[in-house]
Amino acid sequence: KQEVTQIPAALSVPEGENLVLNCSFTDSAIYNLQWFRQDPGKGLTSLLLIQSSQREQTSGRLNASLDKSSGRSTLYIAASQPGDSATYLCAVDNAGNMLTFGGGTRLMVKP
Amino acid sequence: NAGVMQNPRHLVRRRGQEARLRCSPMKGHSHVYWYRQLPEEGLKFMVYLQKENIIDESGMPKERFSAEFPKEGPSILRIQQVVRGDSAAYFCASSPVSSTGGNQPQHFGDGTRLSIL
Query: Does residue A44 belong to the interface with chain B, where contact is any CB pair within 8 Å?
Result: yes
Residue A90 · residue A4 · CB < 8 Å: yes
Tell me the count of A-B CB pairs closer than 8 A: 77
Interface residues of chain B, partner chain A, Cβ below 8 Å: 4, 6, 31, 33, 35, 41-45, 48, 55-56, 58-59, 91, 93, 98-103, 105-111, 113
Q: Indicate the Cα dihedral angle B5, B102, B78, B63, nearest 10°.
A: -160
Report the Cα B51 to chain-centroid distance in Å: 14
The chain-wide mean pLDDT, for chain A, equals 93
pLDDT of residue A94: 82
What are A20-58's pLDDT values in tens digits?
999 999 999 888 999 999 998 888 999 999 988 899 999
